[in-house]
Structure 1
Amino acid sequence: MMLHGYGAVIAGGTWQTVKLALLSLLLAVLIGLLGASARVARHKGLNRIAALYTTLIRGVPDLVLMLLLFYSIQMWLNQLTDYAGISQIDIDPFVAGVLTIGVIYGAYFTETFRGAFQSVPAGQLEAGVSVGMTGWQVFRRILFPQMMRFALPGIANNWQVLVKATALVSLIGLTDLVKVAQDAGKSTFSMFHFILVAAVIYLALTSASNLVLIWLGKRYSLGVREAKL
């Protein structure tokens, strides 16, 4: 496709989107693991807080949450700087994008990991403790590998949705793929053309991701017998 001299700009926007997606994924996975641990914990307080978090986040549209989180964080920061008597600090759009997407999709990963944790037989964990393994060894050698096998389908689905959700950050000023495609389209009066370019790039990113997820699925299914029909 002809890019009318905007090839470098489109490449820069694509790289921005990839970085945003990967860092948001990392934050979402960390939040998800913590949230899932709280959801399966015996402590009722932790369980209720995690349940409230997932219920609220999953019940509100991503765009609404993104705007609420972005403007609320900036508002709280402004109040803090006013109270401290220092100059106003503006949140970097990239940092804001990572935080908002990470917090939003952390709720989805929480439920994904919760189901995966509960799918691992408790007897295997007890067996690990009985042979002298520490809690960390039980997690690393027994729980995590099996949990990942059960969680991968959900992780794959969440990742695909998360990548597409990065398009929303253009609304808070980040020069991601969608933003640069829109700017290029307005400058050349070829909006459809550049939005189509963005769509093709998103499709390429998600298709490449599928190959990685397929490899991970095989990696964590080693030694597991497949059912024969």
Structure 2
Amino acid sequence: MGGIGKTTLAQLAYNDEKVQAHFDNKIWVCVSDPFDEIKISKAIIDGLKKGNSPASNELQILVQFIHESVKGKKVFLVLDDVWNQDYRKWEQLKLPLQNGAVGSRILVTTRKEEVARMVGASTDMINLKVLREENCWVLFYHIALADREKNESKGLEFIGKEIVKKCKGLPLAAKALGGLMGYKETRKQWEDVLNSKIWNVDEIEEQVFQPLLLSHYDLAPAIKRT
């Protein structure tokens, strides 16, 4: 599910001190959709920090350069937000990377189990769960209420906990709503968000977009247009 913390968990691994010490090169590539092999290959080359990198847009030239550049190096590559399930496209990237030293690793974040199976990681999956409601509340409270006067925050807690229920345990939703409510000063403003009709929009497929839309609707008209 979107907003559940896949990228955040990958960032924790990527920035860990032991990980930094273990690998010769660390590379982060935001993949998303569509799966553009040339764009991904160029991002990998940039991460390898080779001064003589090719200016070509020919995939074969790029993957050959990757093949030569990773030889003997222990590489940690993160491919964030992968949607593509076409094994042929994946194989074109995987083959040159296999020239890296033993101990190299590729970490993939995805919403789809089919992607995990395609990259051969079906036995190494970490399936994230939504936050418990009390943990979601702690995250929301820290952003929206922690810096307020005690009496003021106490009076808004009941409404805040009702808003947090609508986050469905998604940390991104709790953060987005916490940021929005941090600027709401009155009880009436908090009640307006709680009772907003946006929560009932059927066309929104992922719950995480509802609080993000609330944040958008709360912007001044001039800012929305940008």
TM-score range, shorter chain: under 0.3
Determine which structure has greater relative contact order: mean sequence separation of CA pairs < 8 Å that are 6+ residues apart, divided by chain length.
1
Give the TM-score taking structure 2 as reference length: 0.25
Give the TM-score taking structure 1 as reference length: 0.24
Counting strand residues as a fraction of each chain, which structure ranks higher?
A: 2
Counting helix residues as a fraction of each chain, which structure ranks higher?
A: 1
